[in-house]
Amino acid sequence: MAQTEKYVLNMGPQHPSTHGVLQVQVELDGENIVGAKPVMGYLHRGIEKLMESRTYVQCVPFTDRLDYVSAMNNNLGFCMAVEKLAGIEVPERAEYIRVICAELNRIASHHVFIGSLTNDLGSATGMIYAFRDREKILDLFNIICGARMTAHYIRIGGVAADAQDEFLRDTQKFIDYVPEMLDEYNKLFSGNEIFQARMKKTSIITKEMALKFGMSGPNIRASGVDYDIRKIDKYGAYGKFDFDVPLGKRGDNWDRYMIRMKEIAESAKIIQQALDNMPEGPYMAKVPKVLRPPKGDAYHRVENTRGELGFYIVSDGSTKPYRVHIRRPSFVNLQALDTMCKGMLLADAVTAFATIDPLMGEVDC
């Protein structure tokens, strides 16, 4: 047996496979990982503090910059929390448009997941394919609101503009393309032997561990816990659609990947139903020009692409929020990183970073 000595290796903050400016201090014994400590704060902009000096309407663009690959979901969470606080009823058409946008954004975000995961595993082709298809969704957002990533389309009381026929037609075209797209992905990498060998039975998170760490989103569902806020809370128009919550069994990297592949299909199912039953009517509620929610606090959570995104807003009766707290799913999920990496090889750490899918804009807030 060779004599080994423990040492610490810094991965990041400038490292291509830590997905942004995440730094992980990996403790190694030879090539085996003994511990992994995430170090964050490199992208901390103090969004919670910044919001305290802006009006409620001015706060919405900040939420785009939290989880910048699923901006629509963040807009939705913040706007719903303010609506809850101020008691604003949202028109039905707006609810439907919101669901379409949020689900499209979920698919786009899963594209980033698939793309970066395959890239990290050494297949740059996978990234090109996933980003090619993500571009189709970003083009749809370009039609509906003129922005591709930081959309700022969902507003307090509804949406910024009505969904044009062009947008609805092109969304239908994209939904028709989804089965073909998934088929292509499955042929390209899901069936790949090396890909499977790297993913299966690595970085296992058991059901108990996932619950213990307070994880949420696809990561907890991959461990077999049926926890989807869209299903539980039925917020917005989600109660009206029929969709399944895919669950994993083992909670390994492979399950976390497959859950997202299945979720793309489910999201497409939701969008199809929303397109078919799209009601007519106004797209914006009557919101006062100067919004002054009554004194009090409200907490609202939505199912973001990465899990349970919650907004806690305290109002002192003025035009600006007194305090905003954002419960960010990737921040909480990162607690599992140490357990995921322990006992794995250094090369597997990269896979673990990719499948836990942290987004530093959200982690650092």
Partner 1 sequence: MGTYFELDKLDLLKAQFDTAEYDAEQAEPALYIGKEQLLDLMRVLRETPTYSFDRMGMLTAVDYKDYIEMVYSLYSRRYDKWVTVKVKLDRDNPEVESMTQIWEGTNFEERETYDLMGVKFLHHPDLRRILMPDNYEAHPLRKDFVPLEPRIEGGVLTWHKQRSMS
DSSP class of residue 28 equals E
* Residue closest to 96 by CA, chosen among 241, 296, 293: 241
Instruction: Please return the burial class of 89, using the count of CB atoms within 10 Å of its CB with bins 0-12, 13-18 and 19+.
Output: exposed
- In whole angstroms, how close is the CB of 331 to partner 1 at the nearest point? 6
Does position 211 interact with partner 1 (CB under 8 A)? The reply is: yes
Residue 212: count of CB within 10 angstroms of its CB: 13
3-state secondary structure 148-196: CCCCCCEECCEECCCCCHHHHHHHHHHHHHHHHHHHHHHHHHHCCHHHH
Choices 16-24, 101-109, 153-161, 307-315 (CB under 8 A): range interacting with partner 1:
307-315
Does position 233 interact with partner 1 (CB under 8 A)? The reply is: yes
Instruction: Output 5 or 89, the one with its CB closest to partner 1.
Output: 89
Does position 212 interact with partner 1 (CB under 8 A)? The reply is: yes
Instruction: Output 15 or 323, the one with its CB closest to partner 1.
Output: 323
Are 111 and 289 in contact by the 8 Å Cβ rule? The answer is no
Does position 331 interact with partner 1 (CB under 8 A)? The reply is: yes
Candidate list 65, 256, 301, 306; residue touching partner 1; CB under 8 A: 301
Does position 227 interact with partner 1 (CB under 8 A)? The reply is: yes
- For the chain, give percent helix, strand, coil, nearest 5: 50, 15, 35
Collapse the DSSP code of 198 into the 3-class scheme (helix H, G, I; strand E, B; otherwise coil) and give the result.
Answer: helix
Retrieve residue 135's tokens. 């571009």
Collapse the DSSP code of 206 into the 3-class scheme (helix H, G, I; strand E, B; otherwise coil) and give the result.
Answer: coil
Does position 332 interact with partner 1 (CB under 8 A)? The reply is: yes
Does position 320 interact with partner 1 (CB under 8 A)? The reply is: no
Candidate list 310, 329, 358, 361; residue touching partner 1; CB under 8 A: 310
Binding residues for partner 1, total number by CB under 8 A: 32
Does position 329 interact with partner 1 (CB under 8 A)? The reply is: no
- In whole angstroms, how close is the CB of 231 to partner 1 at the nearest point? 11
Q: Which of residues 43-62 bind partner 1 (CB under 8 A)?
A: 44, 46, 48-49
> Which secondary-structure segment (H or E) carries 142?
helix 124-145
Does position 80 interact with partner 1 (CB under 8 A)? The reply is: no
Which residues of the shown chain bind partner 1 in the complex (CB under 8 A)? 40-41, 44, 46, 48-49, 211-215, 227, 232-233, 297, 299-301, 308, 310, 312, 314, 322-323, 325, 327, 331-332, 334-335, 364-365
